[in-house]
Amino acid sequence: MSRSTIAIASGTAIIAAVILALTLGGGSSDPTASDQTTTTSASEDAGETDPLETDPVDPIPGFDRSLLPGDLDAVSADWATDFSRTTIDYGELLIGIRALPIRDRIPPIDNPSFVTVSEADHADEREPGLALEIDGDARFYPLSILTAHEIVNDVVGEQPVAVTFCPLCNSAIVFDRVFEDAELRFGVSGLLRNSDLVMWDNRTESLWQQLTGEGLVGEYAGEQLTFVPSSISNFGDYARR
């Protein structure tokens, strides 16, 4: 997996906007920079929101995966995903990448590194990004990085989180990666639903909707990830906090 260059100081950090070690995996065009801060959740303060109700799904009796529509059966042939459990019609899943294997073809970042704000003198103050703070540990994830990788599996304030971004629907959302007492690692499935990123987890290989945090297909179908408050800002405003 790709790694970005990092350092942490004074509780404020930024993923380097220019990283030689960064491997671009695709994605849409860069988002338009903004000089104003917009909130993507109730608060950017530390902590997480209350978990939503879940409704686990029973398997479909006698399920035959060869009946999966289009090329879905072929591209997922080596996945351990339990396709007998679903909350959706499989026709809603579209293949967003045509090169095999599609899963993590857009590579998420695991265990990222950071530079301090003072070291990020190359960064444009107008650079938009996701700002996250948990227990005094503040970090800024440029949308240019999130556009190329879509998911960053990180630990902030000792809390494992998935920082996610879907370039197609311009949604930047953070989730708690601890689910049912297990720390999950999330990846890019290569599938889309309603033009939104579909994620997968490394424990059960279930499929998750990025926009809602809902388990769509697999052992975790019908389950719900916990949102972690964050905000959209530009680097200049973030650095002056």
pLDDT, tens digit, for every residue of 132-187?
Answer: 999 999 999 999 999 999 999 999 999 999 999 999 999 999 999 999 999 999 99
CA distance 151 to 111: 11
Please tell me the total number of residues recorded for the chain in this structure: 241
Q: Is the pLDDT score of 225 beyond 70?
A: yes
In this prediction, residue 15 carries a pLDDT of 63
Backbone φ, ψ for residue 2 (5° rounding): -75, 150
What is this structure's pTM?
Answer: 0.80
In this prediction, residue 13 carries a pLDDT of 62
pLDDT in tens, 104-137: 999 999 989 999 999 998 889 999 999 999 999 9
In this prediction, residue 20 carries a pLDDT of 26
CA distance 167 to 29: 8
Q: Where are the beta strands (DSSP E) in 37-185?
A: 38-39, 93-95, 109-110, 115-116, 128-134, 137-142, 151-156, 159-166, 171-176, 178-179, 182-183
In this prediction, residue 50 carries a pLDDT of 55
CA distance 14 to 129: 10
Q: How confident is the model at residue 67 (pLDDT cuts 50, 70, 90)?
A: confident
Residue 55 CB burial class (10 angstroms; 0-12, 13-18, ≥19): exposed
In this prediction, residue 51 carries a pLDDT of 54
Mean pLDDT score across all residues of the chain: 83
CA distance 140 to 143: 9
Q: How confident is the model at residue 25 (pLDDT cuts 50, 70, 90)?
A: very low
Give the helix/strand (H/E) hosting 74: helix 72-75
